[in-house]
Amino acid sequence: MRTLPLTIILSTLLLIGCTSGPMPQRIYFEPQITSIPRLPSSIPLSVEVRYPQQQLKIGTLADRFGNETTISVTDGMTTEFQRAAINTLNRMGVQTSASSNARLVLTLDQVTYFLRSDGVRRELVGEIRMSMNVNDGRRSYSGKFEAAQRQEVLATPNEQKSREFMNEVATDLLTQAFNDPEFTRYLIQGSL
């Protein structure tokens, strides 16, 4: 007799927990670029990051019950990318200054993250597309970069897993950009 009320209470709690769905998640970017060239010389740069879409929502995740939640970036995403870019450039031997004549502009053209499911397989998909432009008044450089990652998962990722996943995508993207031979050649030639 005592187990019946306990069973009802536990069943109710389980149902409430299952139907509440995943919580909204925010992605903070802290990409860690480790493989970069050390330049013998370079022109100094000012660094600006733009996100023309200004859309904080970058996707959605759903649990196995179909409950969806929003995935957003922070309103400081451009500052997060700018900090990573400046740290990387400094490690490359490039001086950065807001008053420099040469301006490096990183434009985040697309940032997406979602969970794809066909009913059997569940796959995380993250993608970032970026344009990179430098102009010093005489010469210019431009490049386009894209990084994407897919990972099969069993459970809906929590915020920490989502953050780690998207930071891997951002790290891949910035590693491509700062290792572009055309970009490094532009920096070196400008200092000669």
CA distances from 81 to 25, 51, 69, 129 (A): 19, 10, 25, 13
Second CATH level (architecture) for the domain 22-191: 3-Layer(aba) Sandwich (3.40)
How confident is the model over 160-168, as a mean pLDDT?
96
- Locate the DSSP E strands across the chain: 25-27, 46-50, 57-62, 68-73, 103-117, 122-135, 140-152
How confident is the model over 181-188, as a mean pLDDT?
95
Q: Summarize pLDDT for 78-88 with one digit per residue, the tens.
A: 999 999 999 99
Q: Summarize pLDDT for 8-45 with one digit per residue, the tens.
A: 655 555 554 444 677 899 999 999 998 899 999 899 99
User: DSSP string of 95-116?
Assistant: -B-TT-SSEEEEEEEEEEEEEE
| Tokens 């759903």 found at | 62
Q: What is the C-alpha to C-alpha distance for residues 53 and 59, in angstroms, rounded to an integer?
A: 14
Q: Is 28 helix (H, G, I), strand (E, B) or coil?
A: coil
Q: What is the C-alpha to C-alpha distance for residues 102 and 189, in angstroms, rounded to an integer?
A: 13
For the whole model, what pTM was predicted? Answer: 0.86
Q: Summarize pLDDT for 125-159 with one digit per residue, the tens.
A: 999 999 999 999 899 999 999 999 999 998 889 99
